Amino acid sequence: MKTNKLSELTLEELHKQKNTLKSVLIAFSIVMFLACAGLFFVAIKSKNFALIAIIPGCMLTMLPNYVRFGQLNTEIKSRNSK
């Protein structure tokens, strides 16, 4: 996959990527919340509390997307201040 450096993209492309990533993060966050709530319910119902330890690991899968979102915000802010 072709990787784009943020410094090589135009401001419009940065805003487009930010909006797309924001939509994806919102959708995945909702799905992840429902999955973790379901897992928590199953763990309590079955009295298998070891399943609760999986929930923080599930949240870590979103970390690269949040890092990329932060990078996009930083690049947009740095260009707007110039």
pLDDT single digits (tens) 34-58: 999 999 999 999 999 888 999 898 8
Residue 76 inside a domain? The answer is: yes
> For 17, how many CA atoms within 13 A lie in the half-sphere containing its CB?
20
Total tally of structural domains belonging to the chain: 1
With bands split at pLDDT 50, 70 and 90, how would you rate the model's confidence at 64? very high
- For 16, the token pair is 């487009």
Residue 6 maps to a domain: no
> Residues 79, 6, 81, CA angle at the centre, nearest 5°?
10
Q: With respect to residue 24, please indicate whether it lies within any of the assigned structural domains.
A: yes
Q: Specify whether the CB–CB gap between 48 and 40 falls below 8 A.
A: no
Q: What is the pTM of this model?
A: 0.81
Does residue 2 lie within any of the structural domains? no
For residue range 24-34, list pLDDT tens digits in order: 999 999 999 99
* Residue 69 placed within a domain: yes
Classify residue 63: in a domain, yes or no: yes
Per-residue pLDDT for 2 more than 60?
A: no
Give the structural domain span for 24: 11-81
Neighbours of 71 (CB within 10 A): 14
